[in-house]
């Protein structure tokens, strides 16, 4: 009974996700779903990414998901990029219907990029397609190298991985080789970007990957 309800919930979600994907096809814009623990650095990475993409003349839009507050949306708004905030209340993930609602109210660019910053949670968001073309899971080095083994779906369902806060490596016990080995075991083909949004380390490779998404037709 409970399982049936969950299945019908996910099936309904997938229908909305397909519609969102069609909307993005109409806008010729690629959508990126960013998933991580709370505090892994999604918003800071996004702030720096949006500024750099503006310098490359790539138009962007952002959907922000949070259980409460519009703190992140305020941070994104200061970059000048259109942003729509979804407050999920007690819910632990964004769903495709919420994203559809946001897409009706957000200025999504033509031939640009749309970023969805999901609720900070390595588990529940993995079950819900939002209509994204790329799913980027972000792991901060402060969290420990064992996280891919412990939260496998977040890493196996991603199409790209970011290992964030690389500048903290000297100050934490994080085995970078082990983390990359665990990720490759779950997801051998996805690119892994080692990045520090604070120092700029690794940002070029990450930005070039995003730029390719703009330059490649959907």
Q: Which residues are near a copy of itself by CB under 8 A?
A: 1-2, 5, 9, 37-40, 66-69, 71-72, 90, 92, 119-124, 127, 140, 142-144, 146-147, 149-153, 165, 167-168, 171-173, 198
Q: How far is the CB of 132 from a copy of itself (least distance, A)?
A: 20
Q: Reduced to 3 DSSP states, what percent helix, strand and coil does the chain have, rounded to the nearest 5?
A: 45, 20, 35
CB of 183 to a copy of itself, least distance (A): 14
> Which of 58/192 has CB closer to a copy of itself?
192
Looking at the Cβ atoms of 119 and 210, the one nearer to a copy of itself is 119
d(CA 148, CA 139): 9
Burial of 101 (0-12, 13-18, 19+ CB in 10 A): middle
Q: Least distance from C-beta 129 to a copy of itself, angstroms?
A: 15
Residue number, 94 or 214, with CB nearest to a copy of itself:
94
For residue 21, the surrounding DSSP H or E stretch is: helix 2-27
| Least spacing, CB of residue 202 vs a copy of itself, in Å | 18
Q: Choose between 3 and 55: whose C-beta lies nearer to a copy of itself.
A: 3
Q: How far is CA 45 from CA 8, 18, 61, 72, 139, in A?
A: 35, 27, 15, 12, 12
The DSSP H or E segment spanning 153 is helix 152-156
Distance CA 41, CA 197 (A): 8
Nearest approach, Cβ of residue 109 and a copy of itself (Å) = 27
Nearer to a copy of itself, 109 or 144 (CB): 144
Both structure tokens of 41: 């650095």
């Amino acid at each position: 009974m409970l399982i049936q309800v969950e299945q019908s919930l996910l099936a309904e979600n997938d229908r909305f996700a397909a519609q969102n994907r069609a909307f993005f096809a109409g806008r010729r814009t690629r959508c990126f779903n960013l998933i991580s623990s709370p505090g892994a650095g999604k918003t800071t990475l996004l702030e720096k990414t949006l500024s750099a993409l503006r310098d490359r003349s790539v138009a962007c839009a952002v959907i922000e998901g949070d259980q409460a507050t519009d703190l992140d949306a305020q941070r994104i708004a200061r970059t000048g990029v259109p942003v729509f905030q979804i407050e999920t209340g007690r819910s632990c993930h964004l769903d495709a219907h919420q994203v559809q609602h946001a897409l009706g109210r957000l200025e999504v660019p033509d031939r640009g990029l749309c970023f969805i910053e999901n609720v900070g949670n390595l588990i529940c968001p993995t079950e819900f397609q939002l209509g994204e073309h790329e799913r980027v899971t972000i792991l901060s080095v402060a969290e420990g190298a064992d996280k891919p083994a412990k939260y496998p779906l977040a890493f196996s369902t991603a199409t790209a991985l970011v290992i964030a806060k690389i500048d903290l490596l000297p100050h934490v016990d994080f085995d970078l080789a082990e983390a990359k080995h665990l990720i490759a075991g779950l997801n051998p083909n996805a690119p892994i970007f080692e990045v520090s949004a604070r120092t700029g380390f690794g940002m070029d490779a990450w930005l070039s990957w995003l730029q390719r998404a703009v330059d490649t037709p959907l």
